Every structure is written in structure tokens, then in C-alpha cells.
């Protein structure tokens, strides 16, 4: 029986192979074990993962006995995706979190106000996205646990201060420090957020940042201070589009779909991918689906490998 390993599993496996220490390996293994499909085809692989986990934990316990205590934070995932807010001191990460969510982090005009990870939930239409405000990164200081939270996140919002004449220098510092901490941003989905876009000279600085960055990462302007409702709504749409996901709804035969809680899938996902999220039993038992959506005849029968698109409604049949 094929293993049918998920993209999330393969990403965690890459992190495991690239991990520099036992702590990172254990965290990657935990995600591998959480995302591996549970069926007979993966029983041997599950056993191997548990064996590796046992060995690593014993080694980690021995190291802890002889090493000083290291502070670690874990932010439990909520919503469709988890996004880490990354940036230099006073870039405006906490202000942005306030503007986009109901979280109330302390906001001050001095650096290092944020000392612990602060999550908040951003709502776009009916999609919930978890944002995590992290302590600032600078040559003077970086919390030891920040890189791991950045690695674990599905995507990064890299906040830059468009009121700062030294914005390029801050960008280079942040990039170098996070790279030295073994975070490979080239493998992450990154959106550069040009904060304080209403500051004098912000447009010119934004153009300079775009020119230097080239096509490596997209960039979006935002003024978290003004919190203009129309600008906030536009920015939420930019973040949603940047994640390259689609919303899909399900319905039982003869029933209406529930539009309040969609399944959020990577673009290019299939009917079977959605079915697996609904219930793992569908992996083996799904026969076909009926679909409703833009440009499709209502209720047309589609196979398991049919690629879903934004706003589709699926009726799954075993």
C-alpha cells in the first residue's frame, strides 16, 4: 500500500534532515508523526519515527542534565495557517498585530517591547489566520527561541520600517542574523511588509527595497498606525492571496453547505486532499465527488484527482 505522505510531512522531514541539534530534530519528528497518514502502508515508518524519537529524547535528557536551562516557547497552531512576524526593533510588528487582530500587545516607541511570542487571529472573510508577534531581531540581541518559531510557521511576514533611512541596513542585519540561526528563508513563504507607508519619503524607500530585493519576495505597503479600515481590508486580501490557498466547502447529500468554516487548501490540491482533511477514512473509501463551483455544471461528478478551485463545494461519496 502506498504511503501517500502529505506535503506537510515532507516539509517536516526536510527540517529533520537539516536540523542542527536534537531539539530541532525532535520538533521536526513530532510534526512528522502528527502529519503522517495513519494506515497499514505507514506502520513501519511510524515505528521507525517512534524509535528515532525515543533515542533523541534520551540524548536530549542527558544534555539537559549537564547544560544550563534554555527558555523555549511553543505556540499551538490555530486557524488555517500560522504566520510569524519578523523584523528589526521598532519596525512596528506589535502595531501591525493590533491593526489586524484582536490581540493587544504592548506598543511603545522603544525597542524590545515584545519579550514573548504573542499570537492573534486575523480574519479574512471566513478564513482564520494566526499571526505571531515575535521579539525584534538585531545585532545587540535575539531571543534564542525565535528562530525555531520562524521555522515552524507556515509563512513569514517580514516587517520593514519605511520611515527609516537605514531600512536596507536593517534588512541585511535581520537576514544575516536569522540565516546564522539556521533559518533558510529561501525555503519559506515570505511577504515583506512595508510598514509606516504614510511616513515622509516612504514611497521612495519602498522602491529602493523593491529594487534591491528584486523578485525574491513580494512586498506590500501598510500603515499599521493609521489603521484605516479600507487599507486593513486590502492588506488582509494581499496576505490571503500571498499564501496561495483556496477555500473549499463541503456538504452532505441533500443538505446545504456550511459556509462558516471552509477547508483551506494549498492551490493545486485535489478532491482526495480535501477528503483526507474531512476524514482519513476517505483515503481508501472515497469513490467520487459531486462539485458545485464557478464555471462548473452544478453537481457534476468528478474523480478523486480532480483539482479544486476557490469557493468550490464538494459532496463526497464513499
- Name the residue ranges covered by the structural domains of the chain: 7-66, 81-242, 245-317
pLDDT of 66 reads: 59
14-28, 50-64, 198-212, 268-282 — which is least confidently predicted?
A: 50-64
Question: Given a cut of 80, is residue 32 above it in pLDDT?
Answer: yes
Q: Which of 79-83, 102-106, 172-176 has the lowest mean pLDDT?
A: 102-106
Average pLDDT, the chain: 87
Q: Which fold has domain 245-317?
A: Ubiquitin-like (UB roll) (3.10.20)
Q: Model's pTM, two decimal places?
A: 0.73
- Read off the pLDDT of each residue in 198-202 and give the average, rounded to a whole number: 94
- Integer Cα distance of 44 and 98 in angstroms: 46
Q: Is 1 exposed, middle or buried (0-12, 13-18, 19+ CB in 10 A)?
A: exposed
Mean pLDDT of the region 93-116: 72
Q: Is the pLDDT of residue 67 over 60?
A: no
pLDDT above 60 for 40: yes
Per-residue pLDDT, averaged over 239-265, amounts to 93
What is the three-state SS of 145-177? CHHHHHHHCCEEEEEEECCCCCHHHHHHHHHHH
Buried/exposed 154-184: b ≥16 CB within 10 Å, e otherwise: bbbbbbbbbbbeebbebbeebeebbeebebe
Q: Give CA angle at 142 (139, 147), nearest 5°.
A: 120
Helix (H, G, I), strand (E, B) or coil at 251: coil
Task: Give the model's pLDDT for residue 129.
Answer: 96
CATH superfamily, region 81-242: P-loop containing nucleotide triphosphate hydrolases (3.40.50.300)
Q: All 3 cell numbers of residue 63?
A: 544534555
Q: How far apart are CA 275 and CA 302, in angstroms?
A: 13
What digits encode the pLDDT tens for the residues 119-156? 999 999 999 999 999 988 888 788 888 999 999 999 99
pLDDT above 70 covers a percentage of the chain that reads 92
* pLDDT score, position 36: 84
pLDDT at 284: 80
CA 132 to chain centre: 10
pLDDT at 110 over 50: no
Instruction: With cut-offs at 50, 70 and 90, classify the pLDDT of residue 71.
Output: low
pLDDT at 48: 86
Given pLDDT bands bounded at 50, 70 and 90, which one contains residue 309? Answer: very high
Amino acid at each position: 500500500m502506498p504511503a501517500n505522505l502529505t506535503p506537510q510531512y515532507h516539509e517536516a522531514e526536510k527540517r529533520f534532515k537539516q536540523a542542527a541539534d536534537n531539539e530541532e530534530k525532535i520538533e521536526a519528528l513530532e510534526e512528522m508523526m502528527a502529519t503522517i497518514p495513519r494506515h497499514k502502508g505507514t506502520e513501519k515508518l511510524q515505528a521507525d519515527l517512534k524509535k528515532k524519537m525515543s533515542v533523541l529524547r534520551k540524548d536530549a535528557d542527558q544534555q539537559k542534565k549537564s547544560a544550563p536551562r534554555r527558555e523555549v516557547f511553543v505556540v499551538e497552531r490555530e486557524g488555517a495557517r500560522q504566520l510569524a512576524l519578523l523584523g528589526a526593533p521598532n519596525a512596528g510588528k506589535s502595531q501591525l498585530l493590533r491593526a489586524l487582530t484582536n490581540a493587544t500587545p504592548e506598543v511603545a516607541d522603544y525597542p524590545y517591547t515584545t519579550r514573548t511570542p504573542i499570537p492573534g487571529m486575523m480574519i479574512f472573510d471566513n478564513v482564520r489566520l494566526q499571526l505571531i508577534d515575535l521579539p525584534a531581531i538585531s545585532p545587540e540581541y535575539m531571543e534564542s527561541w525565535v528562530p525555531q518559531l520562524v521555522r515552524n510557521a507556515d509563512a513569514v511576514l517580514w516587517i520593514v520600517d519605511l520611515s527609516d533611512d537605514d531600512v536596507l541596513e536593517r534588512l541585511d542585519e535581520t537576514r544575516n542574523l536569522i540565516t546564522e540561526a539556521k533559518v533558510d528563508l529561501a525555503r519559506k513563504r515570505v511577504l515583506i511588509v512595508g510598514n509606516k507607508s504614510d511616513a515622509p519619503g516612504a514611497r521612495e524607500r519602498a522602491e529602493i527595497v523593491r529594487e534591491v530585493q528584486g523578485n525574491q519576495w513580494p512586498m506590500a505597503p501598510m500603515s499599521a498606525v493609521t489603521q484605516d479600515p479600507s487599507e486593513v481590508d486590502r492588506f488582509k486580501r494581499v496576505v490571503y492571496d500571498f499564501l496561495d490557498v483556496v477555500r473549499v466547502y463541503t456538504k452532505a447529500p441533500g443538505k446545504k453547505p456550511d459556509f462558516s468554516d471552509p477547508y483551506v487548501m494549498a492551490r493545486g490540491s485535489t478532491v482526495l486532499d480535501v477528503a483526507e482533511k474531512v476524514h482519513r477514512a476517505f483515503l481508501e473509501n472515497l469513490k467520487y465527488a459531486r462539485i458545485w463551483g464557478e464555471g462548473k455544471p452544478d453537481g457534476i461528478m468528478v474523480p478523486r484527482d480532480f483539482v479544486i478551485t476557490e469557493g468550490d463545494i464538494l459532496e463526497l461519496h464513499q
